[in-house]
Amino acid sequence: MIQVGEYLGRGKNKKKILEIVPLSNGWILVKTENSKSEKDFKVRTITDPETLKFYTPKHAHFAIDFYGKVCHDFQKAEKVFRGIIEVWQGKDVKEVIKKYEHETEDLPGYKLDYILCALKWILEQEDINFRGRPEKLQKTLDEKCKSARVNVPENKKGSQLAIALFCDIFEGVHPVEALLSANLDIVPKFRGTR
């Protein structure tokens, strides 16, 4: 079993593990060091704990998963959406999982604990690395959030772009159109083992 302080990856891609979250499906979510800024980090999903096979989860993975949930059962998918928003707004991720897991457990795709734990870190990373955006784009994002009844915390402007993506899908926009509109990095970076 991997531990905090060990390294994940190979060669120049080898990164020190900062935090670990075991997930209900047997996967492990890992936060590793990164180099964009002093507080920067990377989020990795270990899908095979024995071989340490992992990938870097992206917004697109969760957006497409969310769209599948919306198509399957909109009312239950709304619970997932509200859970994402509550975690983004600063509520304790364990409490939010407990609040919504029973109502969302039979939805297809990713389990709620993976969605909320991974997005918590991914969205934090966006805020850490945020350097500003054009006023016109900011106004568009504010409007998307308002339309979906989402209050934007003052210190979350960096991650608001990703949240607006979920707002679009929640409001009925096809995920391909929503992803193109958000102009998010959607290419997964697969890596080998430790």
| 24: helix, strand or coil | coil
34 vs 36: CA distance, rounded Å: 6
Distances (CA, A) of 34 to 8, 43, 44, 97: 12, 9, 11, 28
pLDDT in tens, 42-62: 999 999 999 999 999 998 899
**Torsion sign, CA atoms 96, 113, 151, 67:** negative
pTM of the model: 0.89
| 16: helix, strand or coil | strand
The reported pLDDT for the residue numbered 111 is: 97
The answer to whether 89 touches 96, Cβ cutoff 8 Å, is no
Domain chopping of the chain, boundaries: 7-57, 59-182
